[in-house]
């Protein structure tokens, strides 16, 4: 899921880690598809905050080495590998 961050110009990406994931990373076209470590939350999920200007961005999560789209975001774009990336539209 993505929401506005606490500070203006930031976006908070989060995912619930069902199954007890130990590590989560965020990747997207906004960071050159390089991994950004997500912090474990008290509820067992993970979150990361990114500074982003208005625009449309494709992203995915990596949970314990497994790439996945955002299960809480139905906006998708086909990727060149035959799967889908999640899409975040930042106002």
Say whether pLDDT at 18 is over 90: no
pLDDT grade for 20, boundaries at 50, 70 and 90:
confident
Report how far residue 27's alpha carbon sits from residue 6's, in angstroms, rounded to the nearest whole number.
Answer: 21
Segment 48-71 shows an average pLDDT of: 95
Contact 30, 57 (CB under 8 A): yes
Domains of the chain: 2-90 (2.60.40.10)
Q: CA dist 10 to 20, 25, 71, 88, Å?
A: 27, 17, 21, 12
Query: What's the pLDDT band for 49 if we cut at 50, 70, 90?
Result: very high
Query: What is the average pLDDT value for the chain, to the nearest integer?
Result: 93
34: which residues sit within 8 A by CB, 6+ positions away?
27
Residue-level pLDDT at 9? 86
């Amino acid at each position: 899921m993505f929401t506005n961050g606490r500070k203006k110009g930031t976006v908070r990406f989060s995912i619930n880690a069902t199954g007890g994931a130990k590590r989560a990373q965020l990747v997207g076209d906004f960071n050159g598809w390089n991994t950004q470590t997500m912090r474990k939350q008290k509820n067992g999920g993970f979150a990361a905050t990114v500074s982003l200007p208005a625009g449309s961005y494709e992203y995915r999560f990596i949970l314990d080495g497994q790439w996945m789209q955002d299960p809480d975001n139905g906006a998708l774009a086909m990727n060149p590998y035959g799967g889908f990336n999640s899409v975040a539209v930042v106002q």
